Amino acid sequence: MSSKRTGIITKEELVEKKLLPSMERLSNGPIAILECPEEIPCNICVSACPFNAISKSRIYEVPRLNPDKCIGCGVCVGKCPGLAIFVVDLSKPGKAYVTLPYEMLPSPSKGARVELLDREGRVIGEGTVVKAWVYEKTWVVTVEVPGDLWFDVRAVRIVR
Partner 1 sequence: MLDYRIYEHPIIDFKRGRLIKFTYNGNIIEAYEGESILASLYALGYRVFSRSPDGSRPRGAFCMIGKCSSCLSYVNSVPNTRICIEPVRDGINVVSGDGIPEPPANISSASVRKEIVDTDVLVIGAGPAGLQAALKLGEKGVDVVLVTDHFRLGGQLVKQTHKFFGDTRYYGGVRGFKIAEKLVNELKKYSTIKTYTRAFAYGFFGEGYMGIAVQGEEPVNLLVKPRYTIIATGATERMILFENNDLPGVMGAGGAQTLMNEYGVRPGENALVVGSGNVGLIVAYQLLQAGVRVHGIIEIMREIGGWIVHAAKVRRYGVPILTGHTITRVEGAEKVEKAIVAAVDDKLNPIQGSEKEYSVDLVLLAVGLQPNYALLSQMGATMKYIPEAGGLVPVRTKYMETSIPGVFVAGDLTGIEEATTAFIEGEIAAYTILERMGFTDVITERDRLVDFLWNEYRMSPVISRARQGKLKATVTEEEMEKLRKGIDI
Q: State which of positions 88-127 bind partner 1 (CB under 8 A).
A: 103-105, 107, 117-122
Tell me the β-bridge partners of 34.
Answer: 85
Query: In the set 54, 84, 114, 143, which binds partner 1 (CB under 8 A)?
Result: 84
Q: With respect to partner 1, which residue has the nearer C-beta, 91 or 124?
A: 124
Binding of partner 1 at residue 143 (CB under 8 A)? no
Span of 22-30, 40-48, 88-96, 140-148 interacting with partner 1 by CB under 8 A: 40-48
Q: Do 52 and 65 contact (CB within 8 A), yes or no? A: no
Binding of partner 1 at residue 40 (CB under 8 A)? yes
Q: With respect to partner 1, which residue has the nearer C-beta, 59 or 92?
A: 59
Binding of partner 1 at residue 47 (CB under 8 A)? yes
Q: 135 — phi, psi (to 5°)?
A: -130, 115
Q: With respect to partner 1, which residue has the nearer C-beta, 32 or 84?
A: 84
Binding of partner 1 at residue 15 (CB under 8 A)? no
Q: Give residue 120's Cα distance to chain centre.
A: 15
Residue 46: other Cβ atoms inside 10 A: 17
Q: Do 158 and 121 contact (CB within 8 A), yes or no? A: no
Binding of partner 1 at residue 42 (CB under 8 A)? yes
Integer CA distances (angstroms), 16 to 3, 68, 126, 133, in order:
13, 20, 31, 32
Q: Do 95 and 146 contact (CB within 8 A), yes or no? A: yes
Q: With respect to partner 1, which residue has the nearer C-beta, 28 or 48?
A: 48
Binding of partner 1 at residue 35 (CB under 8 A)? yes
